Chain A
Amino acid sequence: MASSWQKQNQELKDARYELLAMTADRRGNLTTSWLDPAGGNHVFSNLKVSDGRFPSLAAALPEIAWDEREIHDLFGWIPMGHPDLRPLIRTPRWRQDFFPMMSPGQAATWLDVEPDLPARKVEGEGVTIMKVGPTHAGIIESGHFVFSLIGENILHLDAHLFQNHRGAEALLEEKPLQQVAPLVTRVCAADTVSNQANWALAVEQLAGFKQSPQLVHQRIILLEAERVLSHLNDLAQIPAGVGFQVAHQRALAMKELWQSSLKTLFGHRFLFDTVRPGWASSAPSDALLADLSELRSLWIPWRQLVSGHHGFIDRMQGVGATSLNQVMRLGAQGVAARAAGKEFDARQLLPWYSELFRGPLIQSSGDVQGRFRVRLDELEASLQMIEQAALELSRTNLQEQRFIPPVTLSGRVVTFTESPHGMNVHDVALEDGRVVRYHMRSATYRNWPLLAQAVAGNTVADFPLINKSFELCYSCTDR
């Protein structure tokens, strides 16, 4: 059994399938779901945990290493042969016998010890250790980084995340359908529409609901509006990383403009609660188009400013470089992967995007500049898609589609969308109109290990710049 599980998954990886998710449930069922990058078909591989153990896939498939550590922490199943089974989410403050996913609803009792876990460091002459976090000097999400340095250069980065772990998946269990969206919305502010859409798609697919072209266009507008917002934020942070304040402040001003548009048009500055099963928030097309052109009038000179500033470009080139090989090996996703030449964007596999999406935008350098440029191009493509979808909507008469999901809805489905950070996956199982298992796998989860590799060999002073060019959210990784 063991070998066939390993063999099957290895074959899928070798055939360049994309890993959607590895999901465990309380009854000991393990499922890996893979996506065929050619046709979008899902392939599932299943295994039953026996004796609390299962054969690890991590040695052959490094992108699964974190998933298996997570399963170990939350369920207690042991991945046999895992190369690095340190706790990922678990902290020394949890009781040894506390496995939160085994008995949801159970309150934790915390032991009176420090939450920190032992770090992996480099030892030797001249090596110094620098610890940063979990609290930071600016307004940043919490994360704990242990750098091994030689002089100014980073030898190794051990990132200890999951300070923001809120146990969202356990909270979702047993929830009736109508209580899911508010929570899914708030897992991550940067990828909220993508998360909301995944939930909506899951319910619609299980209920056999067919989205009208209008609903599809409304959703594409929201998903792309979120990408514009998130890319503006990230594009603002990269110049900040090298002290290019003019570009930073002007990008923040564009972001503010866009957020106030979103508030007026859709009711929320981050688009919280704008997508539900069978529904999406919509705005009058002419108002949307007017706001779009106002944003463009700031965007065009800003793009010229950052593209023509040689000092800025010099500071980005060759910094935090990753190779396509590393990207493929670690199963990296999104902007970070496309910046190194991986031609993959989940939108290409979503049939409802087919009219508007023109294909992945890639670079080859894999460095800070590559990631910066992918975002520049993607933002412009998103503005175009919003425009086209808005024009499309203005030509049709809006008809509300009525959809009330059956109260006894049951089944299991894996849905995905391309969030601003990459392919975002939800694995949803329902029974009689209640959630029995909800697993969320954000793109950034796969990209953190790549970031650790990208910083090695760079000076420690460049870490903020490299980190900002990846702009991996913590909250949807930690959940």
Chain B
Amino acid sequence: MAKSIKTLQIRHVDAGSCNGCEQELTALTSRDYDMQRYGLDIVASPRHADALLVTGPVTDTMALPLEKVWGAIAAPKVRIAFGDCAIGCGVFQQSYTSHGGLIDSDLEIPGCPPEPGPALAALRDWMGSHSRGKSAYLELGPVEIN
């Protein structure tokens, strides 16, 4: 089977962004970019998500909430660093509240902020060249109900 992921439902967490990355992410959902037509969407709950998308340098105050959201997403799941701050090369890297960006990201979308056109292309390229991993549910095997 050809490698590709047909849909990616994304939960966004702002971890110290300047709001530029957020606004460009919002633009992706507007009619000019309309990312829904490619199976991409921002969802309200981590329970509905396949992906965690992080903006900002990961401030300490957001570090724990961020990992909680990650923990609430069912596997298989991916981590996306959106923008230079989240990738770990932004201007707030050295701050006393910064954890230096998102660790262990599967996809990095560069830019300050990433422009919506290239960002959409990066997401679609990535989906086109990856397949979904095994879900945690399958790994667990049949569940016994008693």
Residues in A whose Cβ lies below 8 Å from that of B31: 249, 252-253
Mark interface residues in B92-116 (1 if CB within 8 Å of A CB, else 0): 1011111000000000000011010
Q: With A162-B61, A164-B56 known to touch, is A475 a contact of B18 (CB < 8 Å)?
A: yes
| Residue contact B91 to A186, C-beta cutoff 8 Å | yes
- Residues of chain B within 8 A of A93, CB atoms compared: 60-61
**In the complex, chain A residues whose CB is within 8 Å of the CB of B17:** 141, 164, 475
Known: A139-B26, A233-B23. A170 touches B95 (CB 8 A): yes
B58 to chain A, nearest CB (A): 10
Q: How far is the CB of B132 from chain A (nearest CB, A)?
A: 24
Chain B contacts for A307, CB-based, 8 A: none
Q: Which B residues, 59 to 95, have Cβ-Cβ distances below 8 Å to chain A?
A: 59-62, 64-66, 69, 90-92, 94-95
Most buried by B among A139, A162, A255: A139
Q: How far is the CA of A255 from the CA of B69 in the complex (A)?
A: 31
**A135 lies within 8 A of chain B by Cβ:** yes
Closest Cβ–Cβ distance, residue B121 to chain A (whole Å): 16
A100 interface neighbour in B30, B59, B61, B96, Cβ under 8 Å: B96
Q: Are B96 and A167 in contact, CB atoms less than 8 angstroms apart?
A: yes
Cα(A255)–Cα(B64), bound, Å: 34
Q: Looking at the complex, which one of B19, B65, B69, B92 makes contact with A141 (CB distance below 8 Å)?
A: B19
Cβ–Cβ contact B18 & A188, under 8 A: yes
Q: Which residues of B contact A30 (CB under 8 A)?
A: none
Contact A256 B59 (CB under 8 A): no
A459 interface hit (Cβ, 8 Å):
no
A:85-134 near B, CB below 8 Å = 91, 93, 100, 106-108, 110, 114-115, 134
B-side contacts of A108, CB under 8 Å: 60, 96-97
Q: In the complex, what residue of chain B is closest to A250 when comparing beta carbons?
A: B31
When chains A and B are docked, how far (Å) is the Cα of A135 from the Cα of B97?
Answer: 18
- Quick one: CB contact mask for A363-404 with B, threshold 8 Å, 1 for yes? 000000000000000000000000000000000000000000
Bound-complex Cα distance A134 to B91 (A): 23
Contact of B90 with A270 in the complex, beta carbons under 8 Å: no
Contact present for A270 and B12 (CB under 8 Å) = no
Question: Nearest residue in A to B46 (C-beta to C-beta)?
Answer: A135
User: Using a Cβ–Cβ cut-off of 8 Å, how many residues does chain A contribute to the interface with B?
Assistant: 48
Determine whether A138 belongs to the interface, using a CB cutoff of 8 Å to chain B: yes
> Is A473 an interface position by the 8 A CB rule?
yes
Question: Is B65 within 8 A of A135, CB to CB?
Answer: yes
Give the residue name and chain of the B residue nearest to A163 (CB). B61
Complex Cα–Cα for A167 and B99 (A): 12
Give Cα A309–Cα B11 distance, bound, in whole angstroms: 34
Q: Tell me the bound Cα distance from A221 to B60 in angstroms.
A: 38
- Which B residues touch A190, using CB under 8 A? 19, 23
- B residues with a Cβ closer than 8 A to A are 12-27, 29-32, 42, 44-45, 56-57, 59-62, 64-66, 69, 90-92, 94-98, 112-113, 115
Q: With contacts A108-B60, A135-B62 known, what are 18 further pairs, Cβ within 8 A?
A: A91-B61, A115-B65, A137-B45, A140-B22, A141-B17, A141-B22, A142-B65, A165-B59, A166-B98, A167-B98, A171-B91, A190-B23, A253-B30, A253-B31, A255-B27, A256-B32, A263-B115, A475-B18
Q: Can you spell out 25 A-B residue pairs with CB atoms less than 8 angstroms apart?
A: A91-B61, A115-B65, A134-B61, A134-B65, A135-B62, A135-B66, A135-B69, A141-B22, A142-B13, A142-B15, A163-B14, A164-B14, A164-B16, A167-B96, A171-B91, A186-B18, A186-B90, A189-B113, A190-B19, A249-B30, A256-B27, A270-B20, A270-B23, A474-B19, A475-B17
